[in-house]
Amino acid sequence: MFAKASLAYEAIPLPHRATLGDTESLAEAEAFCDRMRRRHTVRDFSDRPVDRAVIEATVRTAGSAPSGANHQPWHFVAVSDPATKQAIRTAAEDEERHFYGGGAGDEWLKALEPMGTGAAKPHLEIAPWLIVVFAQRWGEFDDGTRYKNYYVPESVGIATGFLIAALHHAGLVTLTHTPNPMRFLNGLLGRPASEKPLMILAAGHPADGATVPRAAKIKKPLDAILTVRDS
């Protein structure tokens, strides 16, 4: 992606500039907040297809996220192939049986009880798309030599947040899944050793009769998550 010969600073005019007043800014912020508060983590998926172009558009949004030194240390693998989804489910459930069989520890398992989760992950086959998020620990110049990536977890986390928001904006629901360990995903998806799988994001439409845990609707109030120090 990067050529050593072109690593130089060049300033260009700001391409896009918002010119909203305070009232308009507040209205936009509140409208976006309202839309995102209607986002739900769903485990009950429909097998209704989702066009590949929709997934590509949402990943393009994720790719616009800020990153350390603009190295964009992420790669997304979108999977709709049934056989690959089945293989991912089989490998993920192997890890989950160990997790729920005691590997997680009593405290963690107790914390998960209100979420109603378990070792079975049928959504990994039912959801029309699985988007596997990889973090690139290093990259390569055009001549094949390595360069270090910076703030990789932070950068990939921001990009994944963009992706989830874009999928919700497109009318889809999602479920983040993080089997541990996840190295099996490199082999199944042909990704290099420089990449670390961070999560599987199931995406699609909710099934008829889909439910969410009541506990998941309990969010901390603003004064519990925000401290303001102004003049």
The phi, psi pair for 196, rounded to 5°, reads -115, 120
The amino acid at 43: R
What's the confidence (pLDDT) of residue 2?
A: 62
Query: Is the pLDDT score of 1 beyond 60?
Result: no
Classified as helix, coil or strand, 18 is: coil
**Interval 10-21 mean pLDDT:** 92
Confidence of residue 92 (pLDDT cuts 50, 70, 90): very high
Lowest mean pLDDT among 1-5, 31-35, 46-50, 51-55: 1-5
Question: What is the overall mean pLDDT for the chain?
Answer: 94
**Interval 135-147 mean pLDDT:** 89
**Interval 136-157 mean pLDDT:** 92
Distances from the Cα of 31 to the Cα of 23, 43, 54, 136, angstroms: 12, 26, 23, 34
Strand partners, 135: 74, 196
Q: What does the pLDDT look like over 107-118, one tens digit per residue?
A: 988 999 999 999
**Interval 4-10 mean pLDDT:** 76
Classified as helix, coil or strand, 177 is: strand
Strand partners, 139: 147
**Interval 22-41 mean pLDDT:** 96
What top-level class would CATH report for the domain 42-208?
alpha beta
User: How would you classify residue 198: left for phi > 0, otherwise alpha for psi between -120 and 50, otherwise beta?
Assistant: alpha
- List the chain domain ranges: 42-208
Confidence of residue 5 (pLDDT cuts 50, 70, 90): low
